[in-house]
Amino acid sequence: MLSHHFGSKDGLWLAIVEEVERRQRAALAELLTAIDDDTDPASVMRRWWAHLTDPALLANARLFFELYGQALVGRQPAVRLLEGDIESWVESAGAGVGSELGPEVRAFLRLGIAVTRGLLLDLLATGDRVGVDAAMEQWIVLAAPVVAAARD
């Protein structure tokens, strides 16, 4: 049945990661739809970080990074993860900006994705929740005013 539905065990793992990513983008969309003009971008960013680093979700993050690493070296079927991955997250995060996503905003959103993924990987590698959370807080302090300005 595994081979019939997913092609292989690796195909099953990939399907799981793709579904988790879909659910994560849906969770972000849900969070962003709750934003109004009075919502502080920093509080939204903090809620998103708390969601991503929920201990119940960390096993999903480990699997994501394992398969992403496989994709980066060309291993099939994991390479599918690379197809439009960053762009889909830029679009998802951009929904919270509420304005047209020009090149500068897109670059900034891409930077946010890189920071978030990097700190999530740091958390998985080191287990240093305090240090990683402090680093994310620094990013939020830097990023929230930019997000607020882009929303105006």
CB atoms within 10 A of CB 7: 14
91 to 72, 109, 139: CA distances (angstroms): 22, 9, 20
- Position 92 scores a pLDDT of 87
Mean pLDDT value of segment 135-147: 93
Query: Which pLDDT band, with edges at 50, 70 and 90, does 30 fall under?
Result: confident
Q: How far apart are the first and last CA of the chain?
A: 52
Please, are residues 70 and 46 in contact by the beta-carbon 8 Å criterion? no
42 to 49, 56, 77: CA distances (angstroms): 10, 23, 37
Q: Is the pLDDT of residue 1 over 90?
A: no
pLDDT in tens, 91-133: 888 877 766 778 888 898 899 999 999 999 999 999 999 999 9
What is the CATH topology of the domain spanning 2-151?
Tetracycline Repressor; domain 2 (1.10.357)
pLDDT in tens, 58-88: 999 999 999 999 999 999 999 999 998 999 9
Looking at residue 88, its amino acid is S
CB atoms within 10 A of CB 136: 24
- Position 34 scores a pLDDT of 72
pLDDT in tens, 8-18: 777 888 888 89
Is residue 1 exposed (0-12), middle (13-18) or buried (19+ Cβ within 10 Å)? exposed
Q: Is the pLDDT of residue 6 over 70?
A: no
CB atoms within 10 A of CB 97: 20
